[in-house]
Amino acid sequence: MIRRAAVCPSLLLTAALLAGCGGGDPATSPSASTGEATAASSSAASSSTAPSSEAEDTPTDAAPFEGDTQPATREASADAQVTVSEIRTGRQDGYDRVVLEMGGTGTPGWDVRYVDQAYAQGTGDPVEVAGEAVLQVTVTGAGYPFDTGVEEWAGPDPLPGNGTQTVTEVAWDATFEGTSVAFVGTTGEAPFRVYALEDPTRVVVEVADLG
């Protein structure tokens, strides 16, 4: 009787150990499943937050398109001295975009409006712009390259629309006495809006599709 009682606890201990070993299968282990889920979640998060080239010129809090055909203006900061280094065009859902990227100091201002005819600064010579209407984009607080240390945009001039629907082309008129001018040709006097972005400094003009 004493011998039989001593054996039973040993058998129970062995069974418990075997049961514990059987529960460690990595295919069914809760910790393994949690690890795989975490890795999958991290991968999904990485792909969903990857930046896109189109988003670079779009504010994160961009509202649905609201604009009109009236002149849009903003004052430059007192210390503004910027040079336009790049111009690009692009297509978004329901509107076209023209971006003027610049470097220098301070915050540029602008005066954007439709004009009957494009004229060059300084000389007053007519500037040919393809399209039924001309949207004049005047950047204020502009400086010459030798003042800002930024190389000025050199073309192509005119710059054709890149898959655009309303914007036909952009003609550049360089810098003169604190202002830089670009003429945006359009298929008609469509509503537009203007805003600024930073890092790098950009003035963005968006022109809505005509019905």
Considering the domain architecture, whether residues 116 and 145 belong to the same structural domain is answered as: yes
Considering the domain architecture, whether residues 191 and 116 belong to the same structural domain is answered as: yes
**What confidence category does residue 109 fall into, taking pLDDT thresholds of 50, 70 and 90?**
very high
Considering the domain architecture, whether residues 142 and 109 belong to the same structural domain is answered as: yes
Residues 159-198: tens digit of each pLDDT: 999 999 999 999 999 899 999 999 999 999 999 999 999 9
- E runs forming strands in 53-166: 72-74, 81-92, 95-105, 109-115, 133-140, 159-160
Minimum mean pLDDT among 23-32, 76-85, 91-100: which range? 23-32
Listed residue (75, 81, 97) closest to 201, CA to CA: 81
Helix (H) or strand (E) holding 44: helix 30-48
Considering the domain architecture, whether residues 121 and 176 belong to the same structural domain is answered as: yes
Considering the domain architecture, whether residues 81 and 174 belong to the same structural domain is answered as: yes
Domain annotation covers residue 171 = yes
Considering the domain architecture, whether residues 105 and 11 belong to the same structural domain is answered as: no
Considering the domain architecture, whether residues 109 and 187 belong to the same structural domain is answered as: yes
| Higher pLDDT pick, 43 / 186 | 186
- Sheet with strand 81-92: strands edge to edge: 81-92, 95-105, 201-208, 192-197
In angstroms, the CA 78 to CA 8 distance is 93
**What's the predicted TM-score (pTM) here?**
0.72
Residue 160: give the domain boundaries.
67-208
Domain annotation covers residue 121 = yes
Percent of the chain with pLDDT over 90: 67
Residue showing tokens 């990857």: 50
Domain annotation covers residue 57 = no
Residue showing tokens 């509202």: 63
- Return the CATH number at 95: 2.60.40
Residue showing tokens 């809090």: 61
Domain count for the chain: 2
> DSSP per residue over 4-36, as a string?
HHHHHHHHHHHHHHHHHHHTT-TTT-HHHHHHH
| Higher pLDDT pick, 9 / 121 | 121
Considering the domain architecture, whether residues 33 and 83 belong to the same structural domain is answered as: no
Distance of CA 113 to the CA centre of its chain: 23
